[in-house]
Structure 1
Amino acid sequence: MSTTRTPTEFAALIGKLRVFVENEVIPVEDLRNAHDALAVDQSIQKLRQRAVAQGLGNPRRPVSEGGLGLSWEECCSYLEQAGRSFLGPGALQCAAPGQPDIAALDKLANDSQRKRYLEPLMRGEKYSCFAMTEPAPGVGSDPRMLMTQANRSADGWVIDGHKWFISGAMRADFAIVVARTEAGVSWFLVDRDNPGLELVRNIPTIEPFAIGGGHGEIRLNACKVGEDALIGEEGKGLAYAQIRLEGARLFHCMRFIGLASRAMAIAQEYAGLRESQGVRLAEHQMVQAMVADAHIDLYAARLMTLDVARKLDAGESIRHHSSMAKVFVSEAVNRVADSAVQICGALGISEDLPLSMILRMLRPFRIYDGASEVHRSAIAKRALSKGLVA
């Protein structure tokens, strides 16, 4: 499973991480500041310093470069623990959009781009965002609808387009902009201070503790970039998107399993204390059924995620399996969080407990990185066209 640690050493790392999250990260969560981007970011920065001091954080970065060098399989356990807190992924440098951007740039960036963008991003000195989604009639779940254009100029490229729901845009030092060129869909690096990039607004959503300040709306108005802004090869952007999205989906699954597990732990504790009709909630069969279903869902979600992670470590294509895992896990964690809220009743929907915020945090995952309906369609088309056996 690991090329850097024995099973005993890895178990000790996970134990250390769990203690850090439970004792140092979760206590810092302030539900009153859940939508205060500055306060959230300040908390994360302080926690990141503590994490680094304890030898935690940056799970995918090589050990030689100061990271933990974890395999995808090992990340399943690591990110589940990190994901138990709203602040954990940011503090431990495994949050989107930075982590999937790092994974993509690590495969695609040239030497100059690595030095200017990737290495500072990996060190936590810079922040990134991935600018693909557009207002209608632009691209959403269908990449063929991409409207943003990049045209060659005498000394580089000129990009024009309108992007929104760009995670991390409010904080990003640079954007990976997806645009259409003569050769097809392509990727470009655009600095935040480029005069052709306009940050229009932060779009409020239901999510608390949004990393990077939330989701921004961006306009690219005759945005000029140099020839060296092109990432990889022109026209290969859709293939590159798969590189980024497959890992991103898996990281979301890992983190959100942790958050859903925490929600059910809170509900189980409450059910063991609260009485109704003369007995504890935990003795009511309807409550027992919700707890049982939650454990079944999380068990299955962990196994699916672990299987996809092992395939990724083995260098296998995970396109089909990651779609199935993403659909199942995104819906399973929502069921678990919803049951946790239901068990706790009025207290569950209040902000005296974090349950309602956990539910709000998990709900968008059924849309992000491909809506469940889009994935189901793609899964069925592959199965029917290739004669795949279920």
Structure 2
Amino acid sequence: MDFDLSPAAHDACERMWAFMHEHVFPAEPVWSAWLAEHGEHAHPPVMAELKAEARRRGLWNLFLPARSGLSNLEYAAVAEISGWSPVIAPEAINCQAPDTGNMETLELFATPEQRERWLEPLLDGTIRSAFAMTEPDVASSDATNIATRIERDGDDYVVNGRKWWITGAADARCEVFIVMGKTDPDAAAHRQQSMVLVPRDTPGLHIARHLPIFGYQDQHGHSELVLDDVRVPVANLLGAEGDGFTISQARLGPGRIHHAMRALGMAERALALMVDRARTRVAFGAPLAEQGVVQELVARSRIEIEQVRLLVLKTAWLIDRHGAKGARTEIAAIKVAAPAVATAVIDRAIEIFGGAGVSDDFPLAYFYAWARVLRIVDGPDAVHRRTVAREEFRRAAAR
């Protein structure tokens, strides 16, 4: 078993680290200052500069093997690096959620006309997008509960419903929503749903509010939408009627592994900050690094990160060879394990930082909030533990 990076992955990681140190980390205070002055959902101009530099360095659309030439396993190492600055770095290289999942979905299911109108601008980084599945009035962890209606009316579909936690909607560059709803409530449970492409400026689509996460408002936003007699052409259907549930599962598998990769990056940065703090702060007559309780926190963090990284890499390897279906158990497992480890490591870093750790002087408070949210997005932990358990029971019965 060879754990060395491939030459392609090694090269991409070297270029990514250089980009992070020379451009992304210096851009973080510039980004924050711009939003503080112009509003939480404004678009800092520094992002355009970062995107241009990323393209110049060949760090663009690396998540999509057909476009980048990198396998999922090779991309995993690059995605982890981007997680060190999870707000800025993924977008700078056009590998940010929810656009990555939407681009993968359009790559798989869009018509040539849909690809030209939406996929190509997304791949070019000139627009952004959102995925509208979750709803406030039903338990959306079970996607068959989705209640939004998509009804055929001549050459159009008419959409009515309410969505929330729709990431990206607060950004004015978000020009299209992939909306999931029911086209046939009388069909089999997994054939009731369909997806349609809804342009942002469609009459009847309203953004009701932007939801914070633990008090933080992200630049791209997580929003509640109201769809009131929203009318789109039948040509905006994604796939065929009844394909919505299948498309959602195809979309969420790779997205879950991307989240896990970036969560590891957040954990690594938290650990690096923890170690630096412990080396430079003195308490009770000695550096914190010499205190046994601090050494325990550092050691546990390193061990847990390494364990989860191996599982993430195995999952990426399986996806490369057998597709998302062939890694079903592992995708569910890392969706539970990676955010849990990131949350634990960040929490330990906060403990060592003390009051500074819960301030905005360091990234730990935001990291903690986002790592905890990752235990809910793309399906809560309980759903993924259920998936892992079911697979385990099936295996046991087969022996």
Distance 2:205 2:239 in 1: 22
1:60 and 2:69 equivalent?
no
Equivalent of 1:194, from 178, 202, 214? 202
Which residue is equivalent to 1:146? 146
TM-score, normalised to structure 1, is 0.92
1:229 and 2:236 equivalent?
yes
Q: Conserved in 2, the CA contact under 8 Å of 1:34 and 1:209?
A: no
Q: Which amino acid aligns with 1:82?
A: S
Q: Structure 1 79/208 Cα, relative in aligned 2: closer, same or farther at 3 Å? A: farther
Q: Conserved in 1, the CA contact under 8 Å of 2:83 and 2:261?
A: yes
1:69 and 2:69 equivalent?
yes
Q: Conserved in 2, the CA contact under 8 Å of 1:130 and 1:167?
A: yes
- Number of residue pairs matched by the alignment: 381
1:118-157 to structure 2, matched below 5 A, reads 118-136=119-137, 138-157=138-157
Q: Which amino acid aligns with 1:177?
A: V
SS of the residue 1:134 aligns to: coil
Which residue is equivalent to 1:206? 214
Which residue is equivalent to 1:180? 182
Distance 2:235 2:355 in 1: 56
Which residue is equivalent to 1:314? 321
1:14 and 2:13 equivalent?
yes
The alpha-carbon deviation at position 276 of structure 1 amounts to 1.2
In the TM superposition, what whole-angstrom CA distance separates every residue of 1:116-169 from its partner, at most 9, and x where no partner exists? 111111111221100011112x24211122110111111121111111110011
- After the TM superposition, which of the residue ranges 36-45 and 324-333 deviates more from structure 2? 36-45
Distance 2:286 2:397 in 1: 50
Which residue is equivalent to 1:27? 26
1:366 and 2:375 equivalent?
yes
Equivalent of 1:245, from 233, 252, 260? 252
In the TM superposition, what whole-angstrom CA distance separates every residue of 1:275-311 from its partner, at most 9, and x where no partner exists? 1111111111111111011111110111111111011
In the TM superposition, what whole-angstrom CA distance separates every residue of 1:18-66 from its partner, at most 9, and x where no partner exists? 0211221011112556674345543323211221122212103467xxx
- After the TM superposition, which of the residue ranges 23-32 and 90-99 deviates more from structure 2? 23-32
Equivalent of 1:326, from 335, 349, 368? 335
Q: Conserved in 2, the CA contact under 8 Å of 1:147 and 1:179?
A: yes
Distance 2:14 2:386 in 1: 40
Q: Conserved in 1, the CA contact under 8 Å of 2:64 and 2:104?
A: no
Structure 2: stretches of 5+ with no match in the other structure = none
SS of the residue 1:29 aligns to: helix
Distance 2:119 2:381 in 1: 31
Question: Sequence identity, in percent?
Answer: 33
Q: Which amino acid aligns with 2:49?
A: K
TM-score, normalised to structure 2, is 0.90
Distance 1:336 1:70 in 2: 29
Q: Conserved in 2, the CA contact under 8 Å of 1:87 and 1:209?
A: no
SS of the residue 1:170 aligns to: coil
Equivalent of 1:42, from 42, 45, 55? 45
Distance 2:54 2:217 in 1: 19
Distance 1:274 1:155 in 2: 68
In the TM superposition, what whole-angstrom CA distance separates every residue of 1:77-126 from its partner, at most 9, and x where no partner exists? 11011111131111111110000111111111111111111111111122
Distance 1:341 1:388 in 2: 44
In the TM superposition, what whole-angstrom CA distance separates every residue of 1:210-236 from its partner, at most 9, and x where no partner exists? 35x211111111111111111112112
Q: Structure 1 270/34 Cα, relative in aligned 2: closer, same or farther at 3 Å? A: farther
Q: CA RMSD in A?
A: 2.2
Q: Structure 1 170/209 Cα, relative in aligned 2: closer, same or farther at 3 Å? A: closer
Q: Which amino acid aligns with 2:162?
A: H
Structure 1: stretches of 5+ with no match in the other structure = 1-5
Q: Which amino acid aligns with 1:279?
A: A
Distance 1:319 1:362 in 2: 22
